[in-house]
Amino acid sequence: MFTVEEFANMTMKIIANDGFDGYLPTAIYPARRNLVVLEGVPENSDIEHIAFKWASNGAIDDEEFLVAFKISSSSFKVIRQYEGVKEDGVFDVSNNNT
């Protein structure tokens, strides 16, 4: 199992190395140790709906997954889905000196 905060911390490390401007939606499937990135999301689209549906479609049966995506110029959201329960958190990258 992976918590929202653990995935957010991992995401912050990636952002610290690569920057936040081009951050793409990223999903992780902990049981399979599989990490994937979504490219080609149109600007001004409903990123939360698109990213969650994309991550859900990549899950096998009721597999746990987490997805992170940019929601503003300085923050991102992480959603975790596990056994039908959805939880989320919003994280500010400006606190990470990115």
Cα 59 vs. chain centroid, distance in angstroms? 14
What is the rounded CA–CA span in Å between residue 45 and residue 24? 13
Question: Is the pLDDT confidence value at 1 over 50?
Answer: yes
Q: What is the pLDDT of residue 96?
A: 52
Confidence of residue 94 (pLDDT cuts 50, 70, 90): confident
How confident is the model over 2-11, as pLDDT tens digits?
899 999 999 9
3-state secondary structure of 71: coil
- Residue ranges with strand state E in the chain: 26-29, 34-37, 65-70, 75-82, 85-92
What is the rounded CA–CA span in Å between residue 23 and residue 77? 12
Q: What is the pLDDT of residue 15?
A: 94
How confident is the model over 26-79, as pLDDT tens digits?
999 999 999 999 999 988 889 999 999 999 999 999 899 999 999 999 999 999
User: Is the pTM for the entire model greater than 0.75?
Assistant: yes
